[in-house]
Amino acid sequence: MDAHYRVAIFGSARIKEGDADYEDVYNIAKGLAKSGFDLVTGGGPGLMQAANAGHKSIPSDSHSIGLKIKLPFEKEANKYLDIKKDFDRFGGRLDAFMSLSDAVVVATGGIGTLLELFYAWQLVQVKHICETPIILYGGIWANLLRWLRTEVMVRGLFDSQDMHNIFQINTVEKVINFINKVHEDRSKMEHVCVNFSKYKVEFE
């Protein structure tokens, strides 16, 4: 694979075409393709398919990548992949996601999506990977963030600084603009680790 800027999109396999979340993820991925960014998903149905389909909807030199987990109820990869890799275990797949991805978008999802969110966040917190922006897309995440701040953080179980790379963004256009801004700023720097604190006021 070429050393392109890559964005992972996490989201539910259960959401069908025609749903508003499906359309939003499709359009986010389409915007990322227009910017020339590679896309990384779980390669399955639902919002993963929405992302890969949106990315492939316009001509681009970038790659639509699927990291597929072997599950008894989710056998086939979606048809919108340029590159596919199969995994037997979630651990190896999650590490592959984060080794490939320069930014993460977390769309509507359930247990699997929450696992991906918290794993990515943990790796940044303990500096096992470079600073990576984690974008929580949509209002579904508002109560989770409120709970983290008012029930967990206030007890000293993590610090406010640990949330410096977490952004809740509620429109397709703002997600695309944010990722373009981060990429632009990073490309001007000699090193790849970027501190995201300065983006808080502009994008939240």
Cβ atoms of 159 and 153 within 8 Å: the answer is yes
DSSP string, 136-193: EESGGGHHHHHHIIIIIGGGTSS-GGGGTTEEEE-SHHHHHHHHHHHHHHHHTSSSS-
Confidence (pLDDT) at 201:
39
pLDDT digits (tens, 9 = 90+) for 35-68: 999 999 999 999 999 999 999 999 989 999 999 9
Confidence (pLDDT) at 202:
44
| Sites in the chain below the pLDDT cut of 50 | 1-2, 190-191, 198-204
Confidence (pLDDT) at 193:
54
Confidence (pLDDT) at 128:
87
CATH number of 6-203: 3.40.50.450
Confidence (pLDDT) at 80:
96
DSSP string, 100-149: H-SEEEE-S--HHHHHHHHHHHHHHHTTSS----EEEESGGGHHHHHHII
Give the C-alpha separation, 134 to 44, whole Å: 21
Confidence (pLDDT) at 120:
95
Neighbours of 95 (CB within 10 A): 16
pLDDT digits (tens, 9 = 90+) for 145-167: 999 999 999 999 999 999 999 99
- The pTM score is 0.90
Spatial CB neighbours of 122, under 8 Å, sequence gap ≥ 6: none
Confidence (pLDDT) at 76:
83
